[in-house]
């Protein structure tokens, strides 16, 4: 199956960027980031910022905007059967040069799992203009940690946001 990523969810107030690898099958069907109901991303975000969870995608996007968080995927295109990152082939990265020129206030990049970070490092490279954080994947395929443990790792986002000036 050929997969294309979504446009970034970002505004001029974003302080951090969270990067996934590529939307999974259910996300592509719903045309929503982290659309698979068992992915913990949205539950983590709502819990982290002490907001009432909502299934409404507009409310989810509003939460990110209110908290100065942007999201995107490391890859723009790939071939993949299913939703596992390990099945990705013939991948092409997103255009980060353009994004970072347009949003220079973003200095912290958070990777939702190691695959996203590894693809970023492979295609974009690391430099001193950014601070990189690799978090445990919110995907249910990563069963090495329970929800509370993942939430504890992801809490660094709130710390960074509180310490990052605009």
Mean pLDDT of 139-153: 88
Which pLDDT score, from 0 to 100, does residue 166 have?
61
Catalytic residue positions? 39
> Is residue 143 predicted with pLDDT exceeding 90?
no
The predicted-structure confidence for 40-74, as pLDDT tens digits, reads as follows 999 999 999 999 999 999 999 999 999 999 999 99
The predicted-structure confidence for 90-134, as pLDDT tens digits, reads as follows 999 999 999 999 999 999 999 999 999 999 999 999 999 999 999
**What domains lie within the chain, and their CATH numbers?**
2-163 (3.40.470.10)
Report DSSP letters for 60-125, one per residue. Answer: HHHHHHHTTEEEEESEEEEE-SSS-GGG-EEEEE--HHHHHHH-TT--EEEEESHHHHHHHHHHT-
Q: What separation in angstroms does the CA of 4 have from each of 8, 17, 47, 72, 81?
A: 12, 19, 29, 12, 13
Q: Of 12-16, 24-28, 58-62, 102-106, which range is least confident?
A: 24-28
Q: pTM of whole model > 0.85?
A: yes
């Amino acid at each position: 199956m050929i997969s294309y990523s979504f446009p970034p969810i970002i505004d001029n107030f974003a302080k951090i960027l969270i990067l996934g690898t590529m939307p999974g099958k259910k996300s592509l069907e719903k045309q929503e980031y982290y659309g698979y109901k068992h992915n913990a991303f949205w539950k983590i975000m709502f819990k982290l910022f002490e907001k009432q969870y909502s299934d409404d995608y507009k409310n989810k996007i509003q939460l990110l905007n209110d908290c100065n968080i942007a999201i995107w995927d490391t890859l723009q295109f790939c071939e993949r059967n299913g939703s596992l990152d390990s099945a990705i082939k013939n991948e092409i990265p997103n255009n980060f040069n353009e994004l970072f020129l347009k949003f220079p206030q973003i200095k912290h990049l958070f990777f939702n799992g190691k695959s996203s970070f590894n693809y970023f490092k492979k295609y974009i490279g690391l430099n001193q203009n950014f601070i990189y954080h690799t978090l445990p994947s919110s995907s249910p395929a990563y069963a090495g940690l329970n929800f509370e443990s993942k939430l504890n790792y992801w809490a660094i986002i709130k710390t960074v946001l509180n310490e990052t000036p605009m």
